[in-house]
Amino acid sequence: MGFDLLTEIYFRHGFFADNCLRNIRVLLPQQTATDMRRYDLIFRRLPDGFVLLFNNSNTDQRAQLLREQLTLEFDLQLSDPFFYNYTSLPQTDIPGSILLFTNADGYAPGSLHKEAFVAGSEVVAFEHQVAVISVRPFGRVILQLKPDLLNSYEISFAARATRWCYFLMSDNLAALSEPAILDTSNKVRFAGPRAVTLPDGARASVFVSEETIALAQRPLHTFQLVDAGGIGGLQRTVIPALPSPDIQTISAAGIAGYDRAQAYSEIFLY
């Protein structure tokens, strides 16, 4: 007698270099734990997901189990306070809602959500049930053990994209005659420099990306600060690789003249 794989569920996120999301903890509600004991199922946590195993006491055990049409629920807890800063997800009422994932019919193949990535369609109002759970979960998985159950599913989040703003703060950078920000791949362009007044009253020049750029754990682009008016009129590289935004500093305020409905990432260069 032993145990074989029933199904496994993985959390994915485009922000991370390996596409693995490790900041979610899976909890078993009491009813799920009871049902799993009754049907001799085993739950195992993984760094980026969880696995369900079944007792293979006979060759038809998996088919028999799936004919029972059992439904299991799993609650998800989020441990990263900056998750929403780097995640593309239109969940405006975070305290009053959760994300609901399921393998219901009509969902994307191999996914527990309707589209390629988790979207607004997975956001549902949270109904507090005192007898069942004491705190609001980040999300909930409703897994139907039915004949078409797949061996593996994914819950995939897309990385957030923001307009990147590079501020030239130091006197040395302010003294550049013709500063510009270049993308070594020539895919992203920055408008500027533009003089702005910061909240503390200081003046600075800012470059703003013409399009949104996806946030990533490892930079997807290499941006350079150059001075096109160097000695003899030759272009000079001032900073060969500009830093990427800190995911703790997402700004919704924007800059005068730009769309305030977008999110901005501010990077200050000294």
- Residue 130 is predicted with a pLDDT of 47
What is the distance between the alpha carbons of residues 166 and 67, in angstroms, rounded to a whole number?
58
What's the order of all strands across the beta sheet hosting 139-145?
A: 24-27, 70-78, 139-145, 97-102, 123-125
pLDDT band at residue 200 under the 50/70/90 scheme: confident
Q: Does 142 score more than 80 pLDDT?
A: yes
Higher-pLDDT residue of 229, 154 = 154
* Mean pLDDT for all residues in the chain: 89
- Residue 134 is predicted with a pLDDT of 56
The residue assigned the tokens 């150059």 is 226
What is the distance between the alpha carbons of residues 155 and 110, in angstroms, rounded to a whole number?
9
pLDDT band at residue 256 under the 50/70/90 scheme: low
pTM over 0.85: yes
Which residue type does 212 have? T
pLDDT digits (tens, 9 = 90+) for 40-85: 999 999 999 999 999 988 778 888 888 888 999 999 999 999 999 9
Q: Which 8-state DSSP code applies to residue 15?
A: T
Q: Closest Cα to residue 85, out of 15, 189, 148?
A: 15
- Residue 232 is predicted with a pLDDT of 63
**How far separated are the first and last CA of the chain, in Å rounded?**
65
